């Protein structure tokens, strides 16, 4: 290898360009100057097996009546996420299969921005010391679920109302089933163990979708030094993933810190997409599957809100 001071300009520049290209393979240049966007830290925590029916049952969750009346979880629990998460992650409460090394909570920095065309969300968090091989394919995954408020429960608890006591890995799951997330509105009857089998007719489900009664779903599946795998879809009677996503996902991983950017057009044709318009407030729940965890072993957020440019919301997307 030649000494640096003997190299000509091209010889000096090529390695530099090469390094830039390599780093770009993991995180191609974002359209957003994220350093100029202010964000907030959201505490995500281990939810254990506290499905929506659990939250709505007074002997399990003493504030069930308040929840049914529309009180947002944060009104009592804001600031308690680390404590709750640690209690659950230790296996002491509503967690029969704790993951070793789970700290119980993950602080995630969240930023929103938008321009004429697209909405952008950036998530940043430090990987935990969990020891899990539940998902050997992906080191981490993130998910956002959003509503324009049509799903009333999102104003109370974000995406919590999509999680049920008879879903996979939950106490009332039936063996051999594959039941993921769904909304109460898609079921004709709900019991304390869920509403899994009591599906409404397809025409009712179609009408619910048409009327905005769904959660838009954004997902990114992540491995270090590999492009993020974007998935989008919606949750109504089940999780519906589009064969070809409309969202973009970018990620980078350095010294245990994940940085993920998700974005899509403000308006998107097709079923199960919200229109993002300035002046409206949107409901949000987010989750991180950290360190190869899967299914219910994610860390989740309470319900938050976001708006474009201005408004009364937890997050205001900066206009670029």
Partner 1 sequence: MIHKIWQSLIKPSKMYAAGLLLLIGVVVGVLGWGGFNWGLELTNTEKFCISCHEMESTVYQELKETIHYSNPSGVRATCPDCHVPRPWVYKIIRKIQASNELYHHFMGTLDTPEKFEAHRRELAEHVWRVMKETDSRECRNCHSADSMNLMAQSQRARTRHEQATENGETCIDCHKGIAHKDVSKEIQKEKEQAAEPDFGLDL
Of positions 187, 250, 292, 297, contacts partner 1 by CB under 8 A? 187
The residue assigned the tokens 């230790």 is: 90
State yes or no: residue 152 binds partner 1 (CB under 8 A).
Answer: yes
State yes or no: residue 203 binds partner 1 (CB under 8 A).
Answer: no
Of 159, 165, 144, the closest CA to residue 56 belongs to: 165
Nearer to partner 1 by Cβ, of 200 and 240: the residue is: 200
Q: How far is the CB of 275 from partner 1 (least distance, A)?
A: 22
Nearer to partner 1 by Cβ, of 163 and 220: the residue is: 163
- Enclosing H/E stretch for 107: strand 105-114
State yes or no: residue 192 binds partner 1 (CB under 8 A).
Answer: yes
For 148-294, strand residue ranges (E) read 215-222, 229-235, 239-241, 248-254, 257-265, 281-289
Of positions 102, 122, 132, 161, contacts partner 1 by CB under 8 A? 161
Residues 62, 69: Cα–Cα separation, whole Å: 13
Residues between 268 and 297 with contacts to partner 1, criterion CB under 8 A: none
State yes or no: residue 78 binds partner 1 (CB under 8 A).
Answer: yes
Nearer to partner 1 by Cβ, of 56 and 249: the residue is: 56
- Across the strands, what pairs with 120? 113, 263
Site string for partner 1, 27-66 (x = CB under 8 A): -------------------------xx--xxxx--xx--x
Nearer to partner 1 by Cβ, of 185 and 260: the residue is: 185
Residues 212, 191: Cα–Cα separation, whole Å: 25
How many chain residues touch partner 1 (CB under 8 A)? 27
Cα separations in angstroms, 148 against 133, 168, 290: 36, 27, 28
Q: Is 54 left (phi over 0), alpha (psi -120 to 50) or beta?
A: alpha
Residues near partner 1 (CB under 8 A) are: 52-53, 56-59, 62-63, 66, 68, 71, 75-80, 152-153, 156, 161, 184-185, 187, 190-192
């Amino acid at each position: 290898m030649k000494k640096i001071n003997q190299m000509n300009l091209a010889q000096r520049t090529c390695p530099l360009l090469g390094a830039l290209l390599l780093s770009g393979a993991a995180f191609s240049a974002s359209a957003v100057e994220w350093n100029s966007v202010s964000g907030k830290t959201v505490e995500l925590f281990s939810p254990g097996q506290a499905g929506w029916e659990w939250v709505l049952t007074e002997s399990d969750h003493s504030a069930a009546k308040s929840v049914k009346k529309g009180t947002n979880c944060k009104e009592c629990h804001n600031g308690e996420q680390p404590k709750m998460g640690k209690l659950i992650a230790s296996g002491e409460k509503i967690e029969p299969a704790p993951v070793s090394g789970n700290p119980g909570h993950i602080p995630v920095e969240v930023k929103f921005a938008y321009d004429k065309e697209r909405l952008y969300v950036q998530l940043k968090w430090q990987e935990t010391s969990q020891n899990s091989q539940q998902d050997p394919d992906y080191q981490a995954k993130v998910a956002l679920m959003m509503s324009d408020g049509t799903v009333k429960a999102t104003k109370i608890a974000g995406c919590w109302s999509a999680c049920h006591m008879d879903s996979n890995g939950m106490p009332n799951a039936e063996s051999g089933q594959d039941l993921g997330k769904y909304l109460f509105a898609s079921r004709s009857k709900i019991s304390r163990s869920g509403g899994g089998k009591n599906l409404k007719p397809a025409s009712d489900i179609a009408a619910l979708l048409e009327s905005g009664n769904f959660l838009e779903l954004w997902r990114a599946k992540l491995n270090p030094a590999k492009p993020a795998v974007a998935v989008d879809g919606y949750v109504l009677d089940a999780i519906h993933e589009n064969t070809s996503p409309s969202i973009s996902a970018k990620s980078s991983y350095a010294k245990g810190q994940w940085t993920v950017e998700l974005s899509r057009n403000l308006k998107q044709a097709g079923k199960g997409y919200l229109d993002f318009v300035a002046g409206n407030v949107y409901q949000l729940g987010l989750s991180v599957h950290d360190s190869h965890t899967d299914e219910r072993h994610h860390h989740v957020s309470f319900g938050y809100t976001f708006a474009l440019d201005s408004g009364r919301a937890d997050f205001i997307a900066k206009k670029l």
